[in-house]
């Protein structure tokens, strides 16, 4: 079975909302389809992220990934934050996650980025295995801190 990954277009919005809501549910967020649609529509309108969709068969995406551009002051180069990655349960173990990860790497390189960075839940062992199999290394030099506003 072949997985095709492409950059999402505004015409993908309805399908993306369904996947995005499932992704948010996975992280125990309350359902908000209206908010999800606005959030994703804003990403297309503002062009402040790049969203990829994965398709196995038929026209509907069965997975998505979102990259946000950033900068590394120490490297003085562009980086990308892989903030969201989700594959519908029925499409797992088909290579969809790997295909999305490969697309992220190819895209970041084509944009001249020095690295991709991501974080995941401590108990998300499935994602950790995928990331490590894709060449990501767990950071052992820095702690991540967050300030809720």
**What pLDDT, on the 0 to 100 scale, is given for residue 58?**
81
Q: Which residues of the chain have pLDDT under 50?
A: none
Domain residue limits, the chain:
4-133
* 118-128 confidence digits (pLDDT tens): 998 899 898 89
Please report the pLDDT score of residue 87 as a whole number. 95
Concatenated DSSP letters of the chain? ---EEEE--GGGHHHHHHHHHHHHHHTTPPP-HHHHHHHHHHHHHHT-SEEEEEESSSSS-SEEEEEEEEEETTTTEEEEEEEEEEE-GGGTTTTHHHHHHHHHHHHHHHTT-SEEEE---TT-HHHHHHHHHTT----SS--------
For 4-133, give the CATH class.
Answer: alpha beta
pLDDT given at position 1: 67
């Amino acid at each position: 079975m072949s997985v095709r990954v492409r950059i999402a277009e505004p015409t993908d919005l309805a399908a993306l909302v369904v996947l995005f809501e499932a992704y948010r549910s996975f992280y125990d967020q309350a359902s908000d389809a209206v908010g999800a649609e606005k959030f994703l529509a804003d990403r297309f309108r503002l062009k402040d992220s790049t969203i990829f969709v994965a398709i196995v068969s038929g026209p509907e995406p069965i997975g998505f990934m979102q990259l946000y551009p950033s900068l590394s002051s120490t490297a003085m180069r562009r980086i990308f934050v892989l903030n969201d990655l989700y594959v519908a349960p029925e499409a797992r173990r088909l290579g969809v996650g790997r295909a999305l990860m490969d697309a992220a790497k190819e895209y970041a390189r084509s944009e001249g980025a020095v690295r991709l960075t991501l974080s995941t839940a401590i108990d998300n062992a499935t994602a950790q295995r995928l990331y490590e199999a894709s060449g990501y290394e767990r950071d052992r030099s820095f702690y991540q801190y967050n300030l809720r506003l």
